[in-house]
Structure formats: C-alpha cells, structure tokens
Amino acid sequence: MGLGEGGYKSLFVDQSHVSAADSNPGTRGAPFLTINGALAAATPMTNIYINGGNYNENVVIPTDKIQLIGVARSGSNKVSICPSSGSPLTINGRECKVISLEVIAQDNHAIVTAAADIVLENLAIEINDNSCGVYANNSNDLSIIGCTLNGNISGDSVGVFLGGTTTRTVVRGCHIGYFGSGATEGGILVGYGIAIANTATLAQIISNWIYECFEGIHVYSGGIALKGHAILQNKLWCHSSIDINDLNDPSDSRINIRGNSFLYSTYLVDEDHDGIFDGSVACGLNYDFTASAHVFGSTPFVPRRVT
C-alpha cells in the first residue's frame, strides 16, 4: 500500500532509474525523477526516500510532516542537493525531518528553516560564499544533530545562524568548520561557527566540534533579556579570534557556559599577567566552571571566572 512506518506514506525518488519521471506514482518500480516532483505529490505524513545522485534543484518543502530520507550523505551513492544558484533546501512545513544527504550551496544559504519542529540529522552541509549553512528564521524547536558544516573559508559566513525569535534550538554532535578564517588558514575573514541573534532564546549548543573559524560561537547582545542559552562541553579549535564571544551582561542573558574545551589555540595567553587568559573566551561575567585547554607549550587551563 506504500505506507511507511508509523502510518507514513512512502514515495521514492531515483534519477538513475530507467523509467524515472515526475508523472510516475512514486513507487519503487516507478519512482519520481526529482525531489520537488515527489514533494508536489506528497501530503502530510509522507516519507520521501531518495536514491543516490546529484539533484540540481532548489528543493522547497511546503507541507507539514514530511521526511526527506537520503540513502547516504557521502560515498559513491550519496544524495546531493546541489543547484547552481539559490538556496538548495527551504523548509516551510512544520514537523519535518531531513536525514542522511548532502546539501551544497554556491551563492546562498544552504538550508533555510522558517517553520517549527524541524529536525536536520546526519547531513553534510557546504556553502561557497558569505552565507549560512543553516539559517533559522523564527524557527522554533529546531534540532541539528550529527551534521557536518563546511564554510570553505568564506568571509562573513556562518555555520548555524539562529535569527529572529528562534527558540528552543538544539545543536548537538556536529562538526562545524572553516567559516571565515581560522588561525592556520591565514588572513582575517570574519565568520562564525555558530551565531545567535539578540532576539533568539533557549539555544542548547552541546558537544560540538567547532574549528578553524574567525570566531567559534558568537552571541549578539541586546534584544530580549533572559535568553537562557546553554553552551556546554564543546571542543573549540584554532579560531583566529575568540572561541566563545558572549557580548551580554549576565544579569540580562543568564547564559550557561560550562565544560568547554579550548584546544591548540595560540590565543590562550596571559600577556598582562593578571591571572586571566587573554582573548580566548569573552563571555561577560558568565562562568565556565570546568573548562579545559592545552596550549602549545603551556600548562593546562585553570578553571576560573572569565571577565
């Protein structure tokens, strides 16, 4: 009957299939040629399974409760959404999920989320200009899990941008790198691994690798008070400027910065000998109680209040 697990209907996309066409019913034996072709036929609670290939289209998910499921995000059978211009993937439907595929943008944001309850899982995301890997615009309850984001050393680029009134975001277990220029790349190209707007709230940034950017995590000041973000147990490596830059006063932000590791950064120094490392963490009067860092030729970082 073409029903997926949990009552979801199943549709199939396979551009390499000899009889693939968007006029097909979307079965395994008669799949759609394009992802947008499948989306045009999809109704809420539809799983769209995508076989390997380069899908040169600007995919827009307009419908609630859609799941795009790629066969792989890398290797010979990877699914790559890679148009020549524009955003490769825009999600306007609520309660949607995108799993196990590659998204490559040439001149725009790779993924734009403009709805609530979105899950991005096990994706390879790449940009090639001053855009964002994931641009969340008033997108509540967004989860970005186990993804790899590559900024290709693009200036003014951002791996994950949480904009507008985006709230209750989780970014966990991701590898985020090369947004702007890191210390080993040379030059100063401004870019952030993760940037959180001053009106966004309740972002949970947990257990990510963030490396080779201009700044690792940048939290804009002002806007809504009592933001409630948590930046926990991340590994930050070789940024050319600041690892975690929280511009908010703690009386306004209540941002929990704790247990992060600052690895191999040449900026963990104390040139003024005041007992506080200079330049590596700028987080207002927040605390990082259990931070750890090992600079080349230095003793381990002593947890302290950073001012």
Amino acid identity, position 251: S
Structural domain includes residue 103: no
Which range marks the domain in which residue 151 is found?
127-307
Structural domain includes residue 94: no
Amino acid identity, position 162: L
pLDDT for the residue numbered 188 = 81
Structural domain includes residue 151: yes
Structural domain includes residue 66: no
Which regions in the chain score pLDDT beneath 50? 1-4, 264-270, 275, 277, 279-307
Structural domain includes residue 59: no
Structural domain includes residue 100: no
Long-range contacts from 106-113, C-beta under 8 angstroms, 24+ separation = 107/131, 109/133, 109/134, 109/135, 110/134, 111/87, 111/135, 112/87, 112/137, 113/137, 113/139, 113/142
End-to-end CA, the chain? 62
Residue 292 burial by Cβ neighbours in a 10 Å radius (0-12, 13-18, 19+): middle
pLDDT for the residue numbered 307 = 34
Structural domain includes residue 194: yes
pLDDT for the residue numbered 254 = 76
pTM: 0.86
Residue 272: alpha-carbon gap to chain centroid: 36
Tokens standing for residue 291:
């931070």
Structural domain includes residue 50: no
Structural contact between residues 119 and 97, judged by C-beta atoms closer than 8 angstroms = yes
Residue 253: alpha-carbon gap to chain centroid: 22
Residue 302: CB atoms within 10 Å? 11
Q: How many domains does the chain have?
A: 1
